[in-house]
Chains A and B, each alone.
Chain A
Amino acid sequence: MFAYTVRRLGFALVTLWLATLLVFGALLLIPGNPAQAILGIEATPADLEALEARLGLDKPPAERYLNWLGGVLRGDLGQSIRYERPISELIVTRLGITLPIVVASLLLATLLAVPLGILAARRAGTWVDVAVSTGSLLGIVLPSFWVGLMFIYIFIVWLKLPLPTSFPIGGWENPERALAALVLPVLTVGLASASFLVRLVRGSVLEVLHQDYIRTARAKGLSERVVLYKHALRNAALPVVTVLGLEFASLLIATVVVETVFGIPGLGSLSLTAISARDYPLVQGVVLVIAAFIVLMNLLVDLLYALLDPRVSYG
């Protein structure tokens, strides 16, 4: 187990390094440069050169990348070009808003999807099943920015619920307002995620319910509850747990859209700003952090697997 974990960690680090290399390369390929983004279209070539020198952009790309990598290895993500602030500080501030959204959305999604999915599987083919499937289909096909806007109109403009339409100025200084601002984003992301998860739970439970050992359990005369909760769900949970880990990562990325609609200064909007401003080190930092989350989640899922499924052994 220990050796396996170490090996996995080694892989994770290589993955992260490749991710940074890829992003850096991609940034070199897109036209545009940060100095121009800062100075705008009236800037003269002399203005641009002066700023590029000040930002260290006149150095060759390889040197810039190695400097950045050296910094990261020392635990320093460097300075944002656009904000002239330490990148780690920016990311930590933004994670303080995005992580609660992601975690709460995932929680909401799980709480909705697991019972509904089990219900739909046990009542497969009935109107309950059809209703759940239809609802989840809607949740999957409706674009989240549109759903978010609709929620704003329904809950705030129409029903006059005292929720802010965007993250309040001053942020967490006013915790109630700040939390209230996250309600609709969590609802938007959570429902979209639940729509996806509910199909998976339903399919997974259905599959297990058709297995021989369930038939055996039923033949032994065990009550339906025992069959379901003691035998079926433990096995049905495996694929769901795997996907939950991956879902966490995809929600981190899904917040980009929702943060735009709800005016939330989280990691998603930070990455958008970074890309459109061609703030290379900031893009690198954000990607590194998101990639780290993804790798970490994968690792946790694999370790959880070992706990859930005694057949899986790590030599």
Chain B
Amino acid sequence: MKRWLLVGLLALCGLGLAQQRGGAITIAIQTEPAAWDPTQVAGADISRVVYDNVLQGLVKRNPKGEIVPSLASRWTVSNSGLTYTFTLRQGVKFHDGSDFTAQDVLAKFNRARNPDTRASGHLRPDLYRDIANITSPNPNTVVFSLRQPNNDFLFILSRPESLIGPRQRPLAEQRVQPIGTGPFRFAGWERGVAVRLERNPNYYVQGLPYLDRVNFRFLGDGDAQLAGLRAGDLDVIAYSLLPENAVVLSRDSNFKVFSGSATAEAVAGFNNSRPPFNDVRVRRAITLATNKDELIQGAMLGYGTKIGSMRSPGEACYVDLSNFNAYNPDEARRLLAEAGFTNQNPLRFTFNLAAEFPYERRIGEAMVAQLNKLGPLQVTIQVTDFNTWIQRVFSQADYAMTIIGHVEANDIGNYANPRYYWRYNSPRFQQLFTQYLRAPNQTKACEALAAAQRLLAEDAAGVWTMTLPALGAYRARIQNWPDGFLTPAISVAEVWVR
């Protein structure tokens, strides 16, 4: 009797959750990338569209941020940490009908690690520096031998740069119409309007994808996105939904608002190499004068997660430092006085903002207002377009303070690069980061990374205001929208519509 009840219940649940196949959805993203092959061109929106939907790598990051099998069904790592052996999935075909083989993997990573980017057309060969050689002892195995252990190696293989296309495919064609092994094939790119994906009927996972077509529409204007969602022209606003619009939509049963922690830290960065921010007292004072809770509540209406170093909750080896150097205006004034700045002789500097990023811009403006309330600080805001920001702030480090979202996961290593725009040069940090990379096991790796996070916080190398929310909304007919945001993708393989 009980058993029948259980079966009946299960059957009922099944009825409620029967995924329907077919249908089309339109998803709004903010910018139109220059091209669609992440091995040649960088940009968060490229990965959002093609990562795991069109192009796949040996491994992938799922929405929870875990590294899981993709074109490799399993892998082993030798005890020395020097040999990675991948077993490839069999019978996989690219969208053009050609077979995916070990040869495609070899060709891809030999191109990736070629230091001559002019010849290879591949971004970031530095990522693959530790690869000594790649071999394929048999058709379904690929072996990577490393020069030295690298704890980030699997993470690197899960990066968008590591996605694999057919080895014969001309790069120029792959840029505008990428061919991969994913659940959707790239059906077309209407310049200035949208990208269309269509179901890959030969996808190797049985029953996936559910949708026939997925359109990614480029709409930069938040209000236009909201109108489109309400009118039914859009089904999903994938990210960067304005907090006030999220509040409005969450009161309406026709829509679901989703908000989660992603990996984008809104970093109010210092130029650590120049006065006044080469003085740790001044950097600490700025941190102490920043009320992060107020920024999250005021500028972001509560959407956002407080952090205290260059890592987001949900990333491996995360240490909670969100209350380190917590808001303390008196202490901030004391430190500034010690460094020689008072109400009579205030510290004056310029805070650079990039116009295109609504979240960071608000947070930056609110933060400057907080700093100006302190007394011994006089901060002026300078807003430029992103391209100007890149050249002045990012390439030439010609700035005092700025704020930008660092979207990538696991990007704390940027502080180990003294040439990076923060110009943070700490031999101790570089040593800790190397320890992490070369650690013999995960425990040791996490110890080193934890120490690295603490050191950054003690050094007040930046003000890590918050992890920006993955904030979006979709129409109620959308089912099974991914509920984790720790992947580069807007993963639509398992999404279906009622």
Is the CB–CB distance between A261 and B223 below 8 Å?
yes
A 25-40 to B, binary, CB cutoff 8 A, 1 in contact else 0: 0000011110011111
**Among the listed A31, A164, A276, which residue makes an inter-chain contact with B233, where contact means beta carbons less than 8 Å apart?**
A164
A277 CB–B CB distance under 8 Å = yes
Q: How far is the CA of A143 from the CA of B233 in the complex (A)?
A: 25
Which one of A44-52, A205-213, A225-233, A283-291 contacts B?
Answer: A44-52
B484 CB–A CB distance under 8 Å = no
| Chain B residue at minimal CB-CB distance from A43 | B42
B101 CB–A CB distance under 8 Å = no
Is the CB–CB distance between A270 and B192 below 8 Å?
yes
A82 CB–B CB distance under 8 Å = yes
Is the CB–CB distance between A169 and B224 below 8 Å?
no
Is the CB–CB distance between B194 and A169 below 8 Å?
yes
Q: How far is the CB of B216 from chain A (nearest CB, A)?
A: 10
Is the CB–CB distance between A263 and B117 below 8 Å?
no
Q: Which residues of chain A from 44 to 78 have a CB within 8 Å of any chain B CB?
A: 44, 46-47, 49-50, 53-54
Q: How far is the CB of B47 from chain A (nearest CB, A)?
A: 11
**Among the listed A32, A47, A85, A276, which residue makes an inter-chain contact with B117, where contact means beta carbons less than 8 Å apart?**
A47
B 330-347 to A, binary, CB cutoff 8 A, 1 in contact else 0: 000000000000000000
Is the CB–CB distance between B219 and A39 below 8 Å?
no
A 2-33 to B, binary, CB cutoff 8 A, 1 in contact else 0: 00000000000000000000000000001111
Is the CB–CB distance between B388 and A42 below 8 Å?
no
Is the CB–CB distance between B231 and A170 below 8 Å?
no
B217 proximity list for chain A (CB < 8 A)? 166, 169, 263
Q: How far is the CA of A9 from the CA of B387 in the complex (A)?
A: 38
B223 proximity list for chain A (CB < 8 A)? 149, 261
A269 proximity list for chain B (CB < 8 A)? 192
Q: How far is the CA of A49 from the CA of B115 in the complex (A)?
A: 13
A139 CB–B CB distance under 8 Å = no
Is the CB–CB distance between B227 and A157 below 8 Å?
yes
B 211-253 to A, binary, CB cutoff 8 A, 1 in contact else 0: 0000101011101100110110100000000000000000000
Q: How far is the CA of A54 from the CA of B194 in the complex (A)?
A: 26
A262 proximity list for chain B (CB < 8 A)? 224
Is the CB–CB distance between A33 and B391 below 8 Å?
yes
Q: How far is the CB of A110 from chain B (nearest CB, A)?
A: 28
Q: How far is the CA of A38 from the CA of B219 in the complex (A)?
A: 18
A38 proximity list for chain B (CB < 8 A)? 34-35, 41
A168 proximity list for chain B (CB < 8 A)? 233
- Give the contact-size bracket for chain B: 35 or more
Is the CB–CB distance between B394 and A41 below 8 Å?
yes
Q: How far is the CA of A171 from the CA of B192 in the complex (A)?
A: 11
Is the CB–CB distance between A277 and B34 below 8 Å?
yes
A83 CB–B CB distance under 8 Å = yes
B2 proximity list for chain A (CB < 8 A)? none
A248 CB–B CB distance under 8 Å = no
Q: How far is the CA of A252 from the CA of B97 in the complex (A)?
A: 46
Is the CB–CB distance between B390 and A36 below 8 Å?
yes
Q: How far is the CB of A152 from chain B (nearest CB, A)?
A: 4
Q: How far is the CA of A234 from the CA of B451 in the complex (A)?
A: 84
Q: How far is the CA of A94 from the CA of B35 in the complex (A)?
A: 19
| Chain A residue at minimal CB-CB distance from B411 | A42
| Chain A residue at minimal CB-CB distance from B386 | A276
B32 CB–A CB distance under 8 Å = yes
B 174-217 to A, binary, CB cutoff 8 A, 1 in contact else 0: 01100000000000001111101000000000000000000101
Is the CB–CB distance between B124 and A42 below 8 Å?
yes
Is the CB–CB distance between A156 and B391 below 8 Å?
no
B26 proximity list for chain A (CB < 8 A)? 169
Given contacts A50-B117, A157-B231, A277-B34, whether A261 and B387 have CB atoms under 8 Å apart is no
Given contacts A166-B233, A169-B215, A277-B34, whether A32 and B385 have CB atoms under 8 Å apart is yes
| Chain A residue at minimal CB-CB distance from B32 | A273
Q: Which residues of chain A from 188 to 211 have a CB within 8 Å of any chain B CB?
A: none
Q: How far is the CB of B226 from chain A (nearest CB, A)?
A: 9
Is the CB–CB distance between A265 and B192 below 8 Å?
yes
B392 proximity list for chain A (CB < 8 A)? 31
B118 CB–A CB distance under 8 Å = yes
Q: How far is the CA of A149 from the CA of B231 in the complex (A)?
A: 13
Sample of 8 further A-B pairs with CB below 8 A, known A39-B41, A39-B42, A169-B196: A43-B123, A152-B231, A157-B227, A167-B193, A169-B190, A263-B217, A263-B221, A265-B192
| Residue positions of A touching B, CB distance < 8 A | 30-33, 36-44, 46-47, 49-50, 53-54, 82-85, 90, 93-94, 149, 152-153, 156-157, 164-171, 260-263, 265, 269-270, 273, 276-278
What are 18 contact pairs spanning A and B, CB under 8 A?
A: A32-B385, A33-B387, A36-B387, A36-B391, A39-B42, A39-B123, A40-B41, A42-B42, A43-B123, A47-B117, A47-B123, A83-B34, A149-B227, A152-B224, A153-B227, A261-B224, A276-B386, A277-B387
Which 5 pairs across A and B sit closest by C-beta, in order of nearness? A32-B387, A265-B192, A40-B42, A50-B118, A31-B391
